[in-house]
Amino acid sequence: MQSPYGFEPSENCRSCVFRQNGFFCQLSPDELKDFDAIKHVATYPANATLFMEQQTLRGIYLLCEGQVKLSFSSNAGKTLVLRIAKPGEVLGLLSVLSGNPYEVTAETLRPCQVAFVSGNDFQMFLRKHPAVFQRLAFHLGWQYKAACEQLSAVGLSSSVYERVAKFLLNWSVAGGAPGNGNRFTLPLTHEEIAECIGTTRESVTRTISEFRSRGLIEIHGSTFMIVDRAALQEFRVHPASSLEADPRLLRLTPIRRGSSPGIRHSLWKRVASGRKSA
């Protein structure tokens, strides 16, 4: 039966229409049969919370369809997105194995189908099928690698322009659009993009507008198109200097007090003159 969310829910892993290369999608027939017996499938609308950071663990969530934002927040209310989970991923796995509360908050970005397994049932499943532990190790290793890449993107990128460029390039590849002229959907607000790369919404909006005005990207609603991938990769690899780069790649100079006469780019000139007149 078609759900109100635009896809047909599937209760059986062995005949699931969403079955791909996910963690539990590759289990043996006997393992899948036992997993079917302990899971509970549910559909969620966009912006639904599956679990919250520091909440007492309940179990694991296998994402069958949709996208889920994984984030954590500081006491001051600042939020950082760890990653966007995609179909086939297991959420809450480390908490169930360690017995600790959930490390992140999981919130659906669009309608999702999720299979839930309680912590106790999953532990019994692992004892019955110890061969699954090897796949668990691979999955945890992949999650660790993804976390390291996110920390590198946030902490080691030299500018907001480089962070946004890298984010768009990575998202386009994940969306199956590796070349120039190919389109991909980015279902995130500027605020959520800022949370992914550790900056402010205003900085993201300004940077995307700059990329757009220079002809590097095109945007139609939530659909993005990378017009000049090589130019964006210049920002990702090493932001170019004004002496050696194409005019579209001129590195924007941060505004400093008293330095407005030396600012070359017209956008910063307008900002600087506005501050001076104020």
pLDDT digits (tens, 9 = 90+) for 86-117: 888 999 999 999 999 999 999 999 999 999 99
User: Mean pLDDT across the chain, nearest whole number?
Assistant: 79
Beta-strand ranges (E) seen in 1-58 are: 40-44, 49-51
- For residue 223, is pLDDT > 80? yes
pLDDT per position as a tens digit, 51-97: 999 999 999 999 988 999 999 998 888 888 998 998 889 999 999 99
- Provide mean pLDDT across the span 188-192: 93
pLDDT per position as a tens digit, 194-217: 999 989 999 999 999 999 999 999
pLDDT for position 264: 39
Q: Which of 63, 62, 39 is nearest to 125 (CA)?
A: 39
Mean pLDDT check: name the lowest of 42-51, 137-146, 208-217: 137-146
Instruction: Give how far Cα 187 sits from Cα of 82, 172, 223, Å.
Output: 16, 12, 8
Give the domains, in start order, of the chain with CATH numbers.
13-155 (2.60.120.10), 157-277 (1.10.10.10)
What CA–CA distance (Å, rounded) separates 86 from 81?
Answer: 14
Q: Which of 165, 160, 143 is nearest to 70 (CA)?
A: 143
Cβ atoms of residues 95 and 140 within 8 Å: no
What CA–CA distance (Å, rounded) separates 265 from 263?
Answer: 6
Crossing angle of helices 132-156 and 190-197, in 10° steps, is 100
- Provide mean pLDDT across the span 3-20: 60
| Confidence tier at 18 by pLDDT (50, 70, 90) | low
> Residue 114, CB half-sphere, CA atoms under 13 Å: how many?
28
- For residue 241, is pLDDT > 50? no
Please name the residues in contact with 95: beta carbons below 8 A apart, sequence gap of 6 or more: 57, 101, 102, 103
- For residue 265, is pLDDT > 80? no
